[in-house]
Amino acid sequence: MGSRSIGVRWQLLQGGTLFSNLRLKYAQILLSDSDSIDRAAIAACYPAVRRERLTRRELRSTVLRLGESLSRLGVCQDDRVVAVARNSVEAVVAALATAAIGGVVLSCAPDMVHLPFKCR
């Protein structure tokens, strides 16, 4: 390990950044058109024996509609969206829609939230 790599590590420890302009658009990659557009993208089973399945086409359509709605509500790039939601298809759709417009999703399961937060 040379002195240059130690210097880079020291700068990072002091608050420096690497690849500061790098943006990863994972929602765009996950929702892109592909040969497998009609294959299952999400399958969920719920306790009441309710099953839900979305194809890539259905997922993309749902995510784009929700993303447009979030944009109309004023959510934009680098905004943080907090979701108190159970693990569900809807939570995945909300996270992908937020990411698709450049937002950041912060999520918490409802059973992890304390009563005062629920009452606000």
The domain in which residue 97 lies consists of 25-118
pLDDT digits (tens, 9 = 90+) for 75-119: 998 899 988 888 889 999 999 999 889 898 888 887 776 655 554
User: Is residue 66 assigned to a domain?
Assistant: yes
pTM of the model: 0.70
**C-beta of residue 38 within 8 angstroms of C-beta of residue 57:** yes
108 forms bridges with which residues in the sheet? 84
Q: Is 87 part of a structural domain of the chain?
A: yes
d(CA 68, CA 73): 9
Q: The CATH number of the domain where 32 resides is what?
A: 3.40.50.980
In a domain, 50, yes or no: yes
Please give the structure tokens belonging to residue 39: 């294959």
pLDDT of residue 29: 67
**Alpha-carbon span 12 to 81, nearest angstrom:** 28
Number of structural domains the chain divides into: 1
The span from the CA of 94 to the CA of 62, in Å, is 9
- For the stretch 4-22, pLDDT in tens is 444 445 555 556 565 666 6
Q: In this structure, is residue 35 part of a structural domain? A: yes
pLDDT of 41-70, one tens digit each? Answer: 888 887 877 788 888 889 989 999 999 999
Dig out the tokens for 26 from the structure. 């994972």
Whether residue 5 lies inside any domain: the answer is no
